[in-house]
Amino acid sequence: MSDIIQLLPDSVANQIAAGEVVQRPASAVKELMENALDAGSTSIKLIIKDAGKTLIQIIDNGCGMSETDARMSFERHATSKIRKADDLFAIRTMGFRGEALASIAAIAQVELKTKRIGDDIGVKIDIEGSELKSQEACSCPEGTSISVKNLFYNVPARRNFLKTDAVELRHIIDEFQRVAIPNPQVAFSLHHNNTEIFNLPIGNLKQRLMAIFGSSYNNRLVPVEENTNIVNIKGYIIKPDFAKKTRGEQFFFLNKRFIKSAYLHHAVQSAFEQLLPNDSYASYFLMLDVDPKSIDINIHPTKTEVKFEDEKAIYAFLRSTIKKSLGQFNISPSIDFNQEAHLYNMPLKPVDGIYKQPTITVDPNYNPFKTESSPSIKPSERELSNRENWEKMYSRHADNQLEFEIKKEDDNQQTINTDWDNELHESNLKSSYQLHNKYILTHIKTGFMVIDQQGAHERILYEHILDAFEKHKSSTQQELFPKTIEFNPVDFALVKELETDIKAMGFDISEFGKNTFIIHGIPADTADSDSVALLEGLIENYKQNMIELKSNKRENLARSMARNLSIKSGKNLTQEEMNNLIDELFACKMPYSAPNGKPTITSFSSDDLDKRFKK
Ligand code: ADP
Ligand code: MG
């Protein structure tokens, strides 16, 4: 038999490498921006079409390349940044593996134009799927322009795997920010489909952060600076009063390279200790500088994790530095820890324990945001559906099994079974019991049922809000004193995109100059809440959901608002509130899971208990 092992052709090897280096348009953006930085540019322009699926172009004013280097740059393991193994331990540049351009050129149509400073003439190279299509002299400005067109055009599986434009653009913006924040000495701009999203002039770190996140950051940022012989720390933390319920902004840069570190995050979070409400996260922008010899960056090309030599020492130092900054700037606990619980006050509709004969009257004043008890709201369609639900539960007793579907995040329908004998006893509802301010325990005929209070309330609100969308019946409470709210440029664009739907929820908002909206009114009966916090929370949750799922706008808005307004774990509930919650939950179309797909209810039969007690 003949030998069978062969070397892979370069184009195939490059495509395989590309799978590692370029997962999505944002990975190409990262690599190309880093190259532009390494070239010593002072101005870097990023132009994107269709979230990078059609075009990613980076124009820099860096050192440029000679004709030979331009051709070489697309070869695998071709780099100008290291020459010998020793160099690996002193790396200060962003790249050094020489893989990025070769990988990108393997899976896209790439046009490179480059001219060295002082040269008369530049060079233009076209490469498609690793194949050189043309190379010619060209007149172009000093520096480099790389256009990456139709990424993954020859890897349809990869292309189909890409998420919606909104999600891919979010990833690109993340990468853009990760490069732009630690390099305020370089001007950056980002254009997407002909709209300018960022225009960041040269400045200092604080100016850079304000240009990205909005000028309101001016009085939110607290400086941090401390030097030792193992690490220098410099940057800003956000005052605890402005902490976000969603993860907010957390940026570590190690030698100007963005890194993720759960360990170091913990150090910062713990420095904030008593200053943050339970469910909030510290936000920070911290530059750590260490000797390159003490870290291992020779890791997976796209990984953002790093190994430190002195991890423990850095942890301790970071924590004490943050504490010191918080102390120095006199930031003491000044937060109302229960604030968020007031956002949407229980009680829900009162239950007297006895179900009245349903009457079918559609209440024209029905307000989806109103769950508070009010004598003016008579038992209506909701009570009817509630009743039906109960009856359904009774009737399923025969099967002994209740099946229901949970909508999973990935949209796969997953069926899960509950096997409780599902008789909720009306009379038993009076004796619900709250566990750890988090769960509600209540009797069912065959045992007991445990309800997750936050998930349950989210479900209730979610259905109310969706229903209101459908029936166009949101109403607005006008604000006595309209408030303005400034967003960062990205969020501003998002609010504009969602404006119609946000208004359909009952918000009365209008544009008010650069990156700013004015809030004239908010959904009726959220009227006690702070309008700015309400809208801000809605957008924060929306962004979070946007990354996690592909739901449509209204569904996401409803989810985000429900999360925003729901009673939280940790809130103490009265007997009446618990009963109302249970009642409202079973009036829902889909009481068994929260909008995020997690279960709201679980049950235990007395048989289970008997077994445990070996009866
Ligand atoms: P690496 O960055 O790891 O060296 P790349 O494949 O990203 O590998 O780039 C290969 C080489 O091409 C770089 O080492 C650099 O010499 C050159 N290069 C790439 N982009 C630019 C640019 N924008 N300006 C100047 N030179 C560049
Ligand atoms: Mg590179």
- CATH 3.30.1540.20 for the 419-615 domain, yes or no: yes
Least trusted range by pLDDT, from 26-35, 138-147, 570-579: 570-579
Ligand 1, closest atom to CA 99? Answer: 6
Q: Which residues of 456-478 are buried (b: 16+ CB within 10 A; e: fewer)?
A: bbbbbbbbbbbebbeeeebbbbe
Percent of the chain with pLDDT over 90: 41
Beta bridge partners of 424: 444
Cα-Cα-Cα-Cα dihedral of 415, 419, 421, 424, to 10°? -50
CB atoms within 10 A of CB 516: 15
Q: Which residues contact 159 (CB under 8 A, 6 or more apart)?
A: 53, 151, 152, 153
Mean pLDDT computed over 262-281: 85
d(CA 422, CA 401): 9
Q: Which residues contact 84 (CB under 8 A, 6 or more apart)?
A: none
Which regions of 413-551 does DSSP assign to beta strands (E)? 413-418, 433-435, 439-444, 447-452, 476-486, 508-511, 516-523
d(CA 482, CA 518): 7
Q: Is the CB of 18 under 6 A from ligand 1?
A: no
pLDDT at 149: 97
Ligand nearest to the CA of 18: 1
Q: What's the gap between Cα 536 and its chain centre?
A: 14
Output the DSSP codes for 173-239: HHHHHHHHTT-TTSEEEEEETTEEEEEE-S--HHHHHHHHH-GGGGGTEEEEEEE-SS-EEEEEEE-
pLDDT band at 351 (very low <50, low <70, confident <90, very high): very low
Confidence check: pLDDT of 270 > 60: yes
pLDDT at 336: 33
pLDDT at 612: 87
Output the DSSP codes for 565-594: HSPPTT----HHHHHHHHHHHHTSSSTTB-
Mean pLDDT computed over 53-77: 94
- In angstroms, what is the span from residue 95 Cα to ligand 2's centroid? 4
Report which residue type is found at 603. S
Which one is the CATH code of 10-200: 3.30.565.10, 3.30.70.260, 3.30.70.20, 3.20.20.80?
A: 3.30.565.10
Q: Is the CB of 35 under 6 A from ligand 1?
A: yes
Quickly tell me which residue has 């429900």 as its tokens.
Answer: 562
Confidence check: pLDDT of 325 > 70: yes
Q: Is the CB of 14 under 6 A from ligand 1?
A: no
Percent of the chain with pLDDT over 70: 79
| Nearest CA, atom 8, ligand 1 | 98
3-state secondary structure of 516: strand
3-state secondary structure of 469: helix
Q: Is the CB of 163 under 6 A from ligand 1?
A: no
Query: Which tens digit of pLDDT belongs to each residue from 443-486?
Result: 887 888 899 999 999 999 999 998 888 888 888 888 888 999 98
Confidence check: pLDDT of 357 > 70: no
Query: Which tens digit of pLDDT belongs to each residue from 222-266?
Result: 999 999 888 999 999 999 888 876 677 899 999 898 998 888 999
Q: What's the gap between Cα 520 and its chain centre?
A: 28
Mean pLDDT computed over 528-555: 82
Query: Which tens digit of pLDDT belongs to each residue from 371-389?
Result: 433 333 333 444 444 444 4
- In angstroms, what is the span from residue 185 Cα to ligand 2's centroid? 20
- In angstroms, what is the span from residue 146 Cα to ligand 2's centroid? 13
Mean pLDDT computed over 530-542: 90
Q: Where are the alpha helices (DSSP H) in 287-405?
A: 311-328, 339-342, 381-395
Which of 31, 32, 38, 99 is the best mutation target for the ligand 1 pocket, counting ligand atoms within 8 Å of the beta carbon and taking the most? 38
Q: Is the CB of 78 under 6 A from ligand 1?
A: yes
Q: Is the CB of 41 under 6 A from ligand 1?
A: no
Ligand 1, closest atom to CA 98? Answer: 8
Quickly tell me which residue has 């996260």 as its tokens.
Answer: 281
Confidence check: pLDDT of 426 > 70: no
Q: Is the CB of 80 under 6 A from ligand 1?
A: yes
The sheet that has 508-511: what strands, in order across it? 476-486, 516-523, 508-511
pTM, two decimals, is 0.66
pLDDT at 298: 57
- In angstroms, what is the span from residue 6 Cα to ligand 2's centroid? 29
pLDDT at 547: 65
Which of 101, 125, 148, 297 is the best mutation target for the ligand 1 pocket, counting ligand atoms within 8 Å of the beta carbon and taking the most? 101
Q: Is the CB of 122 under 6 A from ligand 1?
A: no
- In angstroms, what is the span from residue 73 Cα to ligand 1's centroid? 6
| Nearest CA, atom 13, ligand 1 | 79
Question: Regarding beta strands 187-192 and 43-49, do their DSSP bridges make them parallel or antiparallel, or are they unpaired?
Answer: parallel
Backbone phi and psi for residue 445, each to the nearest 5 degrees, phi listed first: -55, -40
| Nearest CA, atom 20, ligand 1 | 35
Q: Is the CB of 60 under 6 A from ligand 1?
A: yes
Mean of per-residue pLDDT scores for the chain: 80
Q: What is the CATH number of domain 205-328?
A: 3.30.230.10
| Nearest CA, atom 7, ligand 1 | 100
Beta bridge partners of 520: none
Confidence check: pLDDT of 210 > 90: yes
Domain boundaries in the chain?
Answer: 10-200, 205-328, 419-615
Quickly tell me which residue has 């077994």 as its tokens.
Answer: 611
Query: Which tens digit of pLDDT belongs to each residue from 145-192?
Result: 999 999 999 988 888 888 888 889 989 999 999 999 999 999 999 999
Mean pLDDT computed over 140-144: 97
pLDDT band at 207 (very low <50, low <70, confident <90, very high): very high
Of residues 99, 46, 108, 57, the one with CA closest to residue 75: 99
Q: Which residue has the higher pLDDT, 412 or 63?
A: 63
- In angstroms, what is the span from residue 80 Cα to ligand 2's centroid? 10
Of residues 52, 289, 54, the one with CA closest to residue 176: 52
pLDDT at 330: 64
| Nearest CA, atom 17, ligand 1 | 73
